[in-house]
């Protein structure tokens, strides 16, 4: 698909990708849930393909050719161009899992085997970005302002909502799937920001935003690949995906824990990991946008975008602290952890390779950033990356992201802190945590659900959690009662958008079913009525 030279080849390759990934998701087809997830994925991805085909058709019919070279010289104007853009964006956004269209993603990933999830999240989502980039650069052009705005706002919405839902999940792979939604959101918001800057006539500045999208895309595929594989290792060791059943895995599988820590750090964009590079560039391009924004409304929007992106980053940090902390730290919650074992060397090697790459990119970002910048802007522009870090002077002020400097600062602070601790006459004692006089049990640890409680409270209006408390037994008024507490967080879009849509589809279909009951004589009757109508029409006209 990447080397496709015309729309036909592109669509065929796209469909092959969709079909093959459907088969991969459907790998464990003996499970009912897997099959339904796979078919949901199939339906959604075909809706996306249909939208992309419409967009290609509109562009190609204006250019009177399906070859990309001719299509880039299309004469599409006015509202037809808007329609083509909306369809293209819808189709590619569906494939990359942006927020209202993400619905298949958190179901397909847990259903698929882990390495397939890694592949899908790492490559397939980015291919959709490539497709959209190609469409935006070549066919639609970016001279219309609101195109970029739509892309940016949708990216921001899915970044924030994605990470919010990720924080609520207890299934490891669903967490990662929602985190993919978040990261694709960040990538698309950077892309949209670039489109806006381009539309404002600032191609040099927009190059930074596009670089940000590409860098974050590359690093996301690294870290999401790592984490999906580590989720696979955990599943292999414990047989469960639910982090509520884990705890203390770090003692059992130290290397997996280390690599997962690196991946989690990267996804919560900590320094020295590749995750920060892309996000930093995204934020830089937002700042640039804020400085170039002409009207107060636009400035307000950028400020809002900034806040949302900051909130996203903070929530992502919380999300991965929760995932890592609950699964790998603390005490074992159930017996499955006791049986867990470290992975064999070759499984760890895959994790280790990606962890090393993440650290490498994080410590020396100049290499990746320079490559991506050359992709976007050609060789003419001064490259941002240098051995010190990334230098960016486009917005009038110089901004610098330098892992080396951060390291020095950290080292100095660390030295001071250690010195402060050891200078005073300190003493150490190890005690059991005080627990009102009783031994703390593993059930008294922070659970995953409990960890995300404050966030759930804060965003109650968005999440709409459904809580149900039932007393199972009531033999005595005061004790011996068993409490059953149920908490579920339905996906907002699933409940408000997809289910009514599905219901309506079914209603319409059953209305059609009445006139199409499979009775042959009724069908002949239709023919007869049609004939009479045609004949009478012929008489009357």
Give residue 12's Cα distance to chain centre. Answer: 25
Distance CA 506, CA 502 (A): 6
Nearer to another protein, 23 or 528 (CB): 528
Could you tell me the smallest distance in angstroms from the CB atom of residue 519 to another protein?
A: 7
Which two three-digit tokens encode residue 404? 């080396």
What separation in angstroms does the CA of 332 have from each of 245, 442, 444, 492?
Answer: 8, 7, 11, 33
Q: What part of residues 461-520 is at the interface with another protein (CB under 8 A)?
A: 518-520
Could you tell me if 230 and 387 are in contact, meaning their C-beta atoms sit under 8 angstroms apart? no
Task: For the CB of residue 503, give the shortest distance to another protein in the complex, in Å.
Answer: 24
CB 413, CB 392: distance < 8 Å = no
DSSP for 223-251 reads: HHHHHHHHHHHHHHHHS--BGGG---HHH
Q: Total binding residues for another protein by CB under 8 A? A: 15
Nearer to another protein, 468 or 514 (CB): 514
Cβ of residue 512: shortest distance to another protein, in angstroms? 16
Mask for 300-339, x = binds another protein (CB under 8 A): ----------------------------------------
Which CB, 387 or 518, lies closer to another protein? 518
Q: How far is the CB of 510 from another protein (least distance, A)?
A: 16
Q: Which is nearer to another protein, 73 or 516 (CB)?
A: 516
Determine which helix (DSSP H) or strand (DSSP E) holds 265, and give its type and residue range. Answer: helix 254-267
**Least spacing, CB of residue 522 vs another protein, in Å:** 8
x/- contact string, 510-539, with another protein (CB under 8 A)?
Answer: --------xxxxx-xx-xx--xx--xx-xx
- Give the Cα separation of 514 and 520 in Å (integer): 14
Which residue, 470 or 527, is less far from another protein as judged by CB? Answer: 527
Q: 389-392 and 385-386 as β-strands: parallel, antiparallel, unpaired?
A: antiparallel
**Cβ-count burial of 50 within 10 angstroms (0-12 exposed, 13-18 middle, 19+ buried)?**
middle
Tokens of 115: 């390495």
CB of 530 to another protein, least distance (A): 11
94 in Cβ contact with 48 (< 8 Å): yes
Residue placing its CB nearer to another protein in the complex, 418 or 532: 532
For another protein, the closer of residues 300 and 528 by Cβ is: 528
Q: Which is nearer to another protein, 69 or 533 (CB)?
A: 533
Q: Which is nearer to another protein, 23 or 531 (CB)?
A: 531
Least distance to another protein, CB of residue 515, Å: 14
CA distance 236 to 241: 9
| DSSP assignments along 13-75, one per residue | HHHHHHHHHHHHHGGGTTSHHHHHHHHHHHHHHHHHHHHHHHHHHHHHHHHT--BHHHHTT--
CB 191 within 8 A of CB 134: no
The minimum distance between CB 538 and another protein, in angstroms, equals 7
In the complex, the smallest distance separating the C-beta of residue 505 from another protein, rounded to whole angstroms, is 21
Binding mask of the shown chain, residues 32 to 61, with x at each position contacting another protein by CB under 8 A:
------------------------------
Residue closer to another protein, measured from CB, 404 or 524: 524
Show the binding pattern over residues 175-214: x = contacts another protein (CB under 8 A), - = does not.
----------------------------------------
Contact assessment for residue 155 and residue 190, using Cβ atoms and an 8 Å cutoff = yes
Q: Decide: residue 437, CB within 10 A, 0-12 exposed, 13-18 middle, 19+ buried.
A: exposed
The nearest distance, CB 540 to another protein, in angstroms, is: 8
Three-state secondary structure of 342-391: CCCHHHHHHHHHHHHHHHHHHHCCHHHHHHHHHHHHCCCCCCCEECCEEE
Q: What is the CA radius of gyration of the chain?
A: 27
Nearer Cβ to another protein, position 78 or 518? 518
CB of 502 to another protein, least distance (A): 22
Cβ proximity to another protein, 425 vs 527, nearer residue: 527
CA 366 to the chain's CA centroid:
25
Q: Determine, following the binding rule CB under 8 A, whether residue 294 of this chain makes contact with another protein.
A: no
Shortest reach from residue 458's CB to another protein, in Å = 52
- Nearest C-alpha neighbor of 159 from the set 186, 130, 126: 186
Of the pair 505, 528, the CB lying nearest another protein is at 528
Q: Across-strand partners of 468?
A: 486
CB of 375 or CB of 528, closer to another protein: 528
Tokens of 448: 């995953």
Least CB distance from residue 520 to another protein, whole Å?
A: 8
CB of 21 to another protein, least distance (A): 32
Nearest to 193 by CA among 281, 78, 311, 110: 281
Tell me the per-residue interface mask from 58 to 87 with another protein, x by CB under 8 A, - otherwise: ------------------------------
- Which among 80, 78, 81, 84 has a CA at the least distance from the CA of 55? 84
Q: Are 191 and 92 in contact (CB under 8 A)?
A: no
Query: Site residues (CB under 8 A) for another protein?
Result: 518-522, 524-525, 527-528, 531-532, 535-536, 538-539
């Amino acid at each position: 698909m990447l080397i496709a030279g015309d729309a036909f080849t592109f669509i065929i390759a796209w469909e092959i990708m969709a079909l093959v990934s459907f088969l991969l998701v459907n790998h464990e087809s003996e499970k009912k849930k897997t099959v339904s997830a796979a078919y949901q994925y199939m339906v959604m991805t075909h809706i996306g393909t249909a939208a992309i085909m419409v967009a290609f058709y509109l562009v190609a019919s204006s250019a009177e050719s399906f070859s990309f070279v001719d299509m880039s010289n299309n004469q599409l104007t006015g509202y037809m161009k808007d329609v083509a853009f909306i369809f293209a964006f819808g189709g590619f956004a569906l494939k990359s899992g942006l927020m209202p269209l993400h619905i298949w993603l958190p179901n397909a990933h847990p259903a698929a085997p882990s390495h397939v999830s890694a592949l899908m999240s790492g490559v397939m989502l980015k291919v959709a970005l490539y497709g959209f980039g190609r469409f935006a650069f070549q066919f639609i052009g970016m001279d219309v302002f609101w195109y970029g705005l739509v892309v940016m706002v949708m990216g921001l919405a899915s970044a924030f909502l994605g990470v919010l839902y990720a924080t609520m999940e207890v299934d490891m792979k669903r967490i990662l799937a929602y985190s993919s939604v978040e990261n694709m959101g960040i990538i698309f918001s950077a892309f949209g920001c670039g489109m806006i800057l381009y539309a404002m006539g600032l191609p040099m500045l927009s190059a930074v935003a596009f670089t940000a999208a590409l860098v974050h895309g590359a690093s996301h595929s690294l870290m999401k690949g790592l984490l999906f594989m580590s989720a696979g290792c955990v599943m292999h060791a414990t047989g469960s995906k639910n982090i509520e059943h884990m705890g203390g895995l770090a003692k059992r599988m130290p290397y997996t824990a280390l690599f997962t820590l690196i991946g989690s750090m990267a996804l919560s964009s900590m320094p020295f990991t590749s995750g920060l590079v892309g996000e930093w560039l995204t934020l830089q391009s937002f700042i640039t946008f804020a400085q170039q924004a002409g009207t107060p409304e636009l400035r307000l929007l950028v400020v809002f975008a900034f806040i949302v992106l900051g909130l996203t980053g903070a929530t992502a940090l919380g999300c991965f602290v929760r995932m890592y902390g609950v699964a790998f730290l603390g005490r074992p919650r159930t017996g499955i952890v006791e049986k867990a074992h470290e992975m064999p060397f070759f499984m760890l090697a895959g994790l280790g390779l990606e962890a090393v790459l993440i650290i490498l990119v994080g410590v020396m970002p100049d290499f990746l950033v320079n490559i991506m910048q050359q992709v976007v802007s050609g060789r003419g522009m001064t490259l941002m990356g240098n051995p010190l870090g990334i230098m960016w002077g486009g917005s009038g002020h110089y901004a610098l992201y330098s892992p080396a400097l951060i390291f020095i600062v950290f080292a100095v602070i660390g030295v001071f802190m250690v010195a402060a601790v050891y200078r005073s006459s300190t003493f150490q004692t190890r005690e059991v945590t005080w627990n009102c006089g009783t031994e703390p049990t593993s059930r008294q640890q922070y659970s995953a659900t409990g960890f995300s409680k404050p966030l759930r409270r804060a965003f109650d209006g968005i999440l709409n959690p459904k809580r149900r408390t039932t007393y199972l037994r009531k033999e005595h008024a005061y004790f011996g009662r068993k409490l059953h507490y149920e908490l579920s967080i339905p996906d907002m879009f699933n409940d408000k958008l997809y289910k009514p849509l599905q219901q309506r589809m079914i209603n319409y279909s059953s209305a059609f079913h009445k006139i199409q009951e499979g009775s042959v004589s009724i069908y002949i009757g239709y023919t007869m009525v049609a004939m009479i109508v045609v004949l009478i029409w012929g008489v009357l006209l």
